[in-house]
Structure 1
Amino acid sequence: MPREGDSRVSYFLDHYLKLTFPLADPETPGFREAQRGALFAVGSHFSGRKDAAIITMPTGTGKTAVLQASSFLLRANRVLVLTPSRLVREQIADDFKKLGVLKRLGALPADLPEPNVMATSGRITDPLQWESLREV
């Protein structure tokens, strides 16, 4: 939910109902079983709990799609993604800006407006830097 006094609506909450869960098959793009399983596990975990959860998926199973879809599924106010390298950071930020993977899967409409995304490197230690992120 938006903070008290904040009139902005969460992008993910605002567009939550536009997320669908198409199934992949040889001729049609959609979520693969590992992705659907991870998303349903996230939804199940947070249906009655507020403690942290970790999703672990092998390389090549579609973590970016799960990450993006989880933002909608949980109707997140904001999303912080930490990556191990500059290359991964740039790839994730670029795809999050376009919601490319979810649009390619048919899970979101192609004409859905893009969310605000900011990529940064290094630690943010100054409270003013953190505050400036509220505008993104």
Structure 2
Amino acid sequence: MGSDRGSWAAGQLGSWAAGQLGSMHAVLAHFSVQDYPAIVSLPTGYGKTSLMMALPLLLGPARVLIVERSSALRKQVHSHFSVLSTLMV
């Protein structure tokens, strides 16, 4: 994940990986026809944190639940979310 991400405000997707885009489209498609929750499971190194940060901005839900089993990963994800670090240019 480089610093050449592009600007969400400008409508650019930057350097999203194909798997990230596919996952994003799948989740958006799911919620275009369903109201029930979705579970997204992706392999290690797929850029899940960026996806977790982007989807609430795109879907506008009332709340989001992210489950991390390790304390270290919980802290890492929290720090990314607190400043939207993986979405910034």
TM range (shorter): 0.7 to 0.9
Structure 1 pair 70–21 and aligned structure 2 pair: CA distance change class (3 A): farther
CA distance in 1, matches of 2:11, 2:22: 14
Distance 1:33 1:21, change over 3 A: farther
What is the alpha-carbon root mean square deviation over aligned residues?
1.8
Partner of 2:29: 44
Q: 1:83 aligns with which of 68, 76, 86?
A: 68
**Regions of 4+ moved over 3 Å:** 17-21
The question of whether the paired residues in 2 share the 8 Å contact of 1:23 and 1:32 is answered with no
The 5-angstrom pairing of residues 55-134 of structure 1 reads 55-104=40-89
**SS of aligned partner of 2:88:** helix
Secondary structure (helix, strand or coil) at the match of 2:63 reads coil
- Bigger radius of gyration: 1
Relative to the length of structure 2, the TM-score reads: 0.82
Which amino acid letter does the alignment assign opposite residue 72 of structure 2? L
Q: What SS does the corresponding residue of 1:18 show, helix, strand or coil?
A: coil
Q: How many residues align?
A: 82
Structure with the larger RCO, 1 or 2 (CA within 8 Å, 6+ apart): 2
Counterpart residue identity of residue 22, structure 1: L
CA contact (8 A) 1:35 1:61 kept: yes
1:43, 1:74 within 8 Å by CA — same for their partners in 2? yes
- Percent identity at matched positions? 33
Q: Which runs of 5+ in 1 are unaligned?
A: 1-16, 25-30, 105-136
Shift of 1:19: 7.7
Unaligned runs of 5+ in 2: 1-7
What do residues 7-41 of structure 1 show as CA deviations (whole Å, max 9, x unaligned)? xxxxxxxxxx83845142xxxxxx11111000000
